[in-house]
Structure 1
């Protein structure tokens, strides 16, 4: 590479269409195993879960900006917690931004899977890295900077080091891992409401209840519906591979 200009050219090239990867049944099974290994065991989740947290807070931030709120700051912590501080005079806008935390990792995961299968894997990786880069000016703690820079660095490493014909496979694995992670976070949220009610102040569902008087359980069901819908979307290309291998 010859500096910033070459890096910019590589990033721009990432947004062009590539030949869709030929994913075999064996490769798909391996991808599912890798995705599960990233999102289920505690040791791997300790690190991969930070990406899910960053995506969660990015969902809050994006929803806040698109609803006309003022975004003041984002905090990401190594214990997988985070917060996005916004200011708005509209209760509806506040509810909108509060809602789009838990569903976004699943939505992003489905997008990565679909893009990976359709030849837009490099574009998905590059877009994800750029989206997180926009949050750097709003981060307000050191851990947040470290987490976000690590994720951006990982995205750049994939774009620069992984051949474009294999980037789709990486996008599929990443998307499946985010989908599994979204389910894991929903289970954790439900556990807070059922068994760890002393932690309710950290629950988006509880904050939505406080803002609307709609029971927390309703919000959890809505989160779950979007996560389930994301799984349905992501499984469409997966089902095609399974059918071809049958």
Structure 2
């Protein structure tokens, strides 16, 4: 089978599968690998780029859903990024601004829910398509490399991994995104205690746009991320 050729039974790749068994010992291993990706600085330097990409896609998708046009996304080596969009009205930019920090947790929880309900292959395929579409709006070379690397991992798992391997990989990725969302939340809260880099905080930018204090937006981010953790844990317990 060629690198990009579909297997004869390719339609089976979209079928719902039996949810993978995740005994407590395996769950601890998944948590350990996810933590190793998203906590140590040496690994976070790499995995954090994917988290930043998901963060900016959260802004972009929220903008699209409110009728705005996404004009560009940039991802930088220092984990900063931007999602630019245009459109009329004042609601769109606010909604777009809200969904950056919760986006990695939302995606992570959705991935875990998909695995525990037998939709792993579909989740991988959908994620790969979103990443490929992102290439249409990436506006810097480094961002293109991040997107291509992420899409390559998704495609490799979808085509060549066994269902069990796909499930465990997506569990690691989803959990790492959930952990990464907490790490990013802690970082933005620290920005507000130092007040030296407020311009990089979505909460501060939302305050400038709406007049609603930054602490309200930080609490909203916290509630959204906490809700995603609750969904993920519930999906595991009720699998």
TM-score in terms of structure 1 length: 0.92
Match of residue 244 from structure 1: none
Say whether residues 1:110 and 2:106 are aligned partners. no
Measured in 2, the distance between the counterparts of 1:84 and 1:59 equals: 9
2:161 matched residue in structure 1: 162
The CA deviation at 1:229 is 0.2
1:133–1:7: structure 2 CA closer, same or farther, 3 Å change rule?
farther
Unmatched 5+ residue regions in structure 1? 242-246
Structure 1 segment 193-212 matched on structure 2, within 5 A: 193-195=192-194, 197-212=195-210
- Give me the whole-angstrom Cα distance separating, in 2, the residues matched to 1:131 and 1:15: 16
Q: Helix, strand or coil for the counterpart of 1:184?
A: helix
Equivalences for 1:72-221 in 2 at 5 Å?
A: 72-195=71-194, 197-221=195-219
- In 1, the alpha carbon distance for the partners of 2:59 and 2:147 equals 15
Question: 1:15 Cα deviation (Å)?
Answer: 2.4
Work out the CA distance in 2 between the residues paired with 1:182 and 1:105. 6
User: Size of the alignment, in residue pairs?
Assistant: 239
RMSD over aligned Cα atoms: 1.7
CA distance in 2 between partners of 1:115 and 1:125 (Å): 10
Gaps of 5+ in 2: none
* Superposed counterparts of 1:33-48, under 5 Å: 33-48=32-47
- Cα pair 1:116 1:170 within 8 Å, conserved: no
**Deviating runs (4+, > 6 A) in structure 1?**
none
Kindly indicate whether residue 6 of structure 2 is the aligned counterpart of residue 6 of structure 1. yes
